[in-house]
Amino acid sequence: MARTGLYLSDVRKARDALLAQGQHPSVDAVRVALGNTGSKTTIHKYLEELDAEEGAAGGRKASISEALQDLVERLAGRLREESDERVAAIEAANAELARQHAESTRDFEQQLVAIKAQLLQAGSDADREAQCHAQTSANLQSEAILRHTAEQQVADLKERLAENEAHRQSLEEKHAHAREGLEHYRQSVKEQRDQDLRRHEQQIQQLQSEMRQLQQSLIAKHEDVTRLNQEGSRLASDISHSQKSLYEEQMRGRQLAHQLAEVRDAAQQVQVMAERIAGKEHLIQALEKQLMHATGQAETMSIQSRTLETALVAAQASLASHKETIAELRARAADNSAV
């Protein structure tokens, strides 16, 4: 794009530069030296003015032109050197900036890869934690179902005991006259019951000792869980047979109404065993409190969950053992009745 305001001094500088380079200062050459700016008419007019001025100067001008040409050549060389140095410095700076940018890009890419790996690891850890939580919840639900089953069995046994008590009272009203003749038998049964009570107290003390031992060795006995579960299944089957025997005993009680005293003694023994069962229920409640305490820490300590499972199975086995004792007492009472 042509510039405006071309001056005589500009044309003089361009012409002197051409002369210093040993070139003829034509209109086209001067215009190129000016950066392809200015009209040729104006440049030609200025060149004529300059020629007219130099024509008046004569021989003096020639010597000045030589000196100027030498000076201009030196200045041009110096300018080229400085321009080359600046260009080299700029290129070096640009190369350094490009290198730093490449290093920064590689660092950012490595950090991005590391962050992505951390995100994947965090997601995997979260999935594993969710699976552990789901497994713990399932285990706790299973324990709750087992505990509810045991409570239901105890409630059924209490209901049957209540029915037996009601029947016993009815028989007592009908056969009060038979009590006097069976005093000696009641005394013998009482002695047997006292022996059973003493034996039961010994069993309770033994059970308490075993409970303390279990509390100290619950973790070490985790491998016995499978065996205890099998024994629990067998004991549950025994309870079912015991309930069937209880029903048969009630039928025999209706048929053997004249032996009311024996039935009453047996009922008293059942009441005593019911009280024992109540004591065991307190033990079960204590174990349930321990289970509730361990449930609060189930997310961080799964070993405590396994400990509570073992304690619950042990309590259920103890309850089943005492139920079996009740069944044995009832069977003994039935045998005594038959005698």
End-to-end CA distance of the chain: 138
Q: What is the pLDDT of residue 222?
A: 67
Of the candidates 264, 272, 150, 262, the residue with the CA atom closest to the CA atom of residue 200: 272
Of the candidates 22, 135, 32, 7, the residue with the CA atom closest to the CA atom of residue 76: 22
Of the candidates 272, 248, 273, 277, the residue with the CA atom closest to the CA atom of residue 150: 277
Tokens of 105: 């890009």
pLDDT in tens, the chain (339 residues): 344 568 888 888 998 899 888 888 888 999 998 888 888 888 898 888 888 877 655 544 445 665 576 566 557 656 766 777 788 888 888 889 888 988 888 888 898 898 888 888 888 887 888 888 788 878 888 888 888 887 888 788 888 888 878 888 877 787 777 677 777 777 877 888 788 778 878 877 887 787 788 677 767 766 776 876 677 677 667 767 767 776 777 777 677 667 667 757 766 776 777 787 777 777 767 777 876 775 676 576 677 667 777 877 887 887 888 788 888 887 887 777 665
Q: What is the pLDDT of residue 62?
A: 46
Q: What is the pLDDT of residue 330?
A: 79
Amino acid at 208: Q
CB of 249 within 8 A of CB of 337? no
Scored b (16 or more CB within 10 A) or e, 252-278 reads ebeeeeebbbbbbbbbbbbebbbebbe
CB of 317 within 8 A of CB of 228? yes
Say how far apart CA 312 and CA 135 lie, in whole Å.
18
Q: What is the pLDDT of residue 187?
A: 82
Q: What is the pLDDT of residue 326?
A: 82
pTM of model > 0.75: no
Scored b (16 or more CB within 10 A) or e, 145-176 reads ebbeebeebbeebeeebeebeeebeebbeebe
